């Protein structure tokens, strides 16, 4: 399918963004990824972006990064999404594999934590020995894997 480039105003900050009629263009000013679905359903999460359009507008006005909170992140895992994120100068990967386990891998230490379920991950995943839920505010980057 031919994806013709168009220019439109970013739904979050109003900056001009190059995108297509199907979305996908990333705003150079605020980082929002143009998404027609989220434009139509501004409270929808886990589309092109990890947070809803309405939340992104609030975060932008408050100078916050477009990161989901810990509960939203766990909800997305429960729906099968896999992630990569950075925290405390380390990069982590979360992936479902062998049809049974969630793997939580750290690139720098080569350490993998395995979990039988998202609930187990939620309750016991740690970063530097600290429960992930307690250091979620230290997040510096997150995206779908
Ligand atoms: Zn923008």
pLDDT at 4: 84
Dist. CA 53 → ligand 1 center (Å): 11
| Residue among 118, 142, 131, 2 at smallest CA distance from 65 | 142
Check whether residue 58 and residue 79 sit in a common domain: no
What residue has token string 């139509």? 40
Same domain, 15 and 47: yes
Pairing between β-strand 5-9 and β-strand 16-20 as defined by DSSP bridges: antiparallel
Residues 95, 47 share a domain: no
Whether 75 and 137 share a structural domain: yes
Q: Distance (Å, rounded) from C-alpha 142 to C-alpha 99? A: 24
Q: Are 122 and 74 in contact (CB under 8 A)?
A: yes
Per the prediction, the chain carries an average pLDDT of 94
Ligand 1 centroid–CA 69 distance in Å is 20
Last residue of a domain, one of 38, 62, 86: 62
pLDDT of residue 1: 54
- The string of pLDDT tens digits covering residues 32-55 is 999 999 999 999 986 789 999 999
Whether residues 14 and 33 share a domain: the answer is yes
Determine the structural domain holding residue 40 and report its residue range: 5-62
At residue 97, the pLDDT reads: 86
Same domain, 29 and 48: yes
Number of domain units in the chain = 2
Buried b or exposed e, range 6-15, using 16+ CB within 10 angstroms? eeeebbbbee
With cut-offs at 50, 70 and 90, classify the pLDDT of residue 2: low
- Same domain? For 88 and 52 the reply is no
pLDDT above 70 (res 9): yes
What does the angle CA 105 – CA 106 – CA 109 come to, to the nearest 5 degrees?
130
Q: What is the pLDDT of residues 90-123, one digit of tens each?
A: 999 999 988 889 999 999 999 999 999 999 999 9
Tell me the two tokens of residue 128: 């530097």
pTM: 0.87
- How much distance in Å is there from the Cα of 9 to the middle of ligand 1? 8
Same domain, 55 and 89: no
């Amino acid at each position: 399918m031919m994806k013709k480039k168009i220019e439109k105003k970013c739904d979050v900050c109003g900056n001009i963004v190059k995108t297509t009629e199907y979305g996908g263009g990333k705003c150079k000013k605020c980082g929002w990824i143009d998404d027609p679905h989220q434009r139509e359903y501004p409270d929808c999460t886990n589309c092109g972006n990890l947070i809803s359009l309405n939340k992104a507008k609030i975060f932008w006005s408050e100078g916050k990064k477009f990161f989901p909170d810990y509960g939203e992140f766990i909800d997305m895992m429960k729906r099968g999404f896999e992630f990569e994120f950075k925290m405390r100068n380390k990069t982590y990967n979360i992936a479902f594999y062998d049809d049974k386990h969630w793997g939580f891998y750290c690139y720098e230490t080569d350490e993998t934590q395995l979990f039988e379920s998202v609930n187990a991950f939620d309750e016991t995943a740690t970063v530097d020995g600290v429960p992930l839920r307690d250091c979620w505010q230290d997040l510096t980057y997150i995206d779908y894997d």
